[in-house]
Amino acid sequence: MHRFRITSPFVAAGSPIGSRWIGSRWIGSRWVVRALGLGAIALTLTITGCVPSNSSNSSSSPATTAEQSSEGRSNGGSNGEAREEGKKQVLTTFTILADMAQNVAGDALTVNSITRIGAEVHGYEPVPSDIAKAQNADLILYNGMDLERWFDQFLDSVEGVPSVVLTEGIEPIPIAEGPYASQPNPHAWMSPENALVYVENIRKAFVELDPDNADIYNANAADYSDRIKAIDTQLQAELAAVPESQRYLVSCEGAFSYLARDYDLQEIYIWPINAEQQSTPKQIKSVIDQVKANRVPAVFCESTVSSEAQEQIAQATGAAFGGNLYVDSLSTAEGPVPTFLDLLQYDADVITQGLLKGGAE
């Protein structure tokens, strides 16, 4: 699905534009990008609609290769300058998509992520430099299913850059409760089976973008798909070791619906999706009651949100706090999940160890 922005007018810096940028937020209906090496010229980018929802865990610092380094390879991005000579540039909305895209692209494309490592993608607040990088891209890849609640507004500010949604063709699991009830749970990549659909959508997008290198993208996609299938088989065997009575995956956000479905786990969560209301007393009491009733051995939380509420639940129930799981972001290269395949393996290891070794009294 390709989307285009019609206009992006230039105005002299200091001209009256009705609204102005303050810090890392936008005011009114326009963004002004300064310090882009344009001297006295500022790029005014019109934003339509309302201001995106805030998140206590959102980050307004982008992660792209240009900012993270000439020192080495960044997670989900390529090495060196933002645009390497002769290569088309692909921009993704978060690091997991960037890693998938890099595996398909190989060395034929430059791939970067808008959000930085560790950022909470749902309520991310774009900054002017994000718009500039998007305008410089040849293609933007995004998850869809309303994961990136800020993305439609963001894309309206980018002129003539095609975008592709990567969840096209995936059967969504609906959110069960709360203000987003019946809407798609957007964390579809947490299923290896779904990840194969992401890879195929990336492959098709790259072949269309750069047909001269189609053979590279086709071969890389096939190889990467084989590795996803292999880790799926490995995870099935690993999680099968957890006894039926202990097969409960208790998390902060309901981000594991697809993983729980694939590996026959019962999902329990404090809140259904990262939004305005999280960790309410009612939500916490409900999870405490379920953990006690089912004698759940261990509870977990996601790396991009506070685990305080889940640790309180563990203390109240006697369950172990099994640790943090990765969902919305990769880690640094030195961390436990520098790639998407590492993320799947790490989460399966933490879940299995927690459920087998943790114990409610």
Backbone phi, psi, residue 147, to 5°: -65, -50
Distance CA 91, CA 200 (A): 17
* Residues 102-147: tens digit of each pLDDT: 999 999 999 999 999 998 899 899 999 999 999 999 999 999 999 9
Which sign, positive or negative, has the C-alpha torsion 196, 198, 204, 209? negative
Using a 10 angstrom Cβ sphere, with 0-12 exposed, 13-18 middle and 19 or more buried, the burial of residue 98 is: buried
Count Cα atoms within 13 angstroms, Cβ side, for 134.
33
Angle between helices 214-239 and 192-209 (to 10 degrees): 170
Q: What is the DSSP string of 268-317?
A: EEEESSSSS--S-HHHHHHHHHHHHHHT-SEEEEETTS--HHHHHHHHHH
- Homologous superfamily of 53-229 in CATH? Nitrogenase molybdenum iron protein domain (3.40.50.1980)
Strands 21-22 and 25-26: antiparallel
Give me Rg for the CA atoms of the chain. Answer: 21
Dist. CA 45–CA 158, nearest whole Å: 8
What whole-number distance in Å separates Cα of residue 159 and Cα of residue 143?
20
- CATH 3.40.50.1980 in the chain is located at 53-229, 240-357
Q: Given this model, what pLDDT does residue 191 score?
A: 99
The answer to whether the CB of 108 falls within 8 A of the CB of 60 is no
Task: State the DSSP H helix or E strand holding residue 322, giving kind and residue range, or none if neither.
Answer: strand 320-325
In angstroms, the CA 158 to CA 6 distance is: 8
pLDDT for the residue numbered 172:
98
Structure confidence by residue, pLDDT tens digits, 182-208: 999 999 999 999 999 999 999 999 999
> For residue 60, which of 11, 119, 113 has the smallest C-alpha distance?
119
Helix (H) or strand (E) holding 96: helix 95-105
For residue 247, which of 262, 232, 233, 231 has the smallest C-alpha distance? 262
* pTM for this predicted structure: 0.78
Please give the pLDDT value at position 234: 98
**Regions of the chain where pLDDT drops below 70:** 1-85, 275-277, 359-361
Fold adopted by 240-357: Rossmann fold (3.40.50)
